[in-house]
Amino acid sequence: MLVDYHMHLENGPKNLDYLKKFVENAERRGISEIGISEHCYRFKEAKHLLDNPWTRERNVDSLSEYLDLLNEAKSLGWPVKIGIEIDYIPEAEEQIREFVSKYQWDYVFGSVHWLGEFGFDLKENLSLWQKYDIDKIWNEYFNTLLKAAQSGIFDSLPHPDLIKIYGFYPKEDLSEYLDYVFSEIKKTDVALEASTAGWRKPVGEMYPSLVILDLIRKHNISITLASDAHYPEDVGRDFERMIPILKKAGFNEFVRFENRKRIFEKL
């Protein structure tokens, strides 16, 4: 079987008819199970976890309605898992931990999109890259990713090298540092995500890169599978391209979740 655990309903109505389109597209692409992992900042109940001008404009949805929708889908026998994608902000770690503990999830993602006030993957912030030391930004990103892993809050960390999204790469050789980061992530037992979404971004390559994929394999870190679909037509997109790459890199299994418990499946 294959699963796709990273997708968002934010661009359509929050109802069964729209959700069914994700399920149907998954079935067409041979995906046996999907997981919805809406961005946490969209929920009014989570406003305190990440509050800035950009998120305030998007803080419009109800978490209770989201959970009710996914639970209804599950009650109908649909192959849907209940997830959430939470921006990891080190200063808000305890608030995030408390928030996660209040609800029942199949899995919880912890992602890094913000370094301080810099939302580095936002198109509207692209020009800001010129103001930053790229080497320092890369170091800060992976240091934050490691902190997210060490927090023990999350089941998987999505798009683990998202920092490359616009093709800004450091001049410094980070190979030793990255080897250290992923060796430390292994100690936390969190999974990392293999995602086709990067092929749809300016960088034009999957997450993670082959270099980082080799580090993940070297340190025997588990992986989850994802398309990061923001529209139904992207569910399972490019899996036929990604799976052979994962196998060639030495992966023979992936992780899925139920009530936050790991289940290993053959790749």
Per-residue pLDDT of the chain (267 residues; tens, 9 = 90+): 999 999 999 999 999 999 999 999 999 999 999 999 999 999 999 999 999 999 999 999 999 999 999 999 999 999 999 999 999 999 999 999 999 999 999 999 999 999 999 999 999 999 999 999 999 999 999 999 999 999 999 999 999 999 999 999 999 999 999 999 999 999 999 999 999 999 999 999 999 999 999 999 999 999 999 999 999 999 999 999 999 999 999 999 999 999 999 999 999
pTM for the model stands at 0.97
Give the domain extent around 126. 3-266
Distances (CA, A) of 260 to 89, 111, 153: 21, 17, 11
Question: Distance (Å, rounded) from C-alpha 153 to C-alpha 32?
Answer: 27
Question: Distance (Å, rounded) from C-alpha 36 to C-alpha 80?
Answer: 7
Integer distance in angstroms from the first to the last C-alpha of the chain? 8
pLDDT of 17: 98
Q: Which two tokens stand for residue 165?
A: 């999204």
SS3 for 133? coil
The answer to whether 208 and 160 are in contact (CB under 8 A) is: yes
The number of folded domains in the chain is 1
Give the CATH number, domain containing residue 243.
3.20.20.140
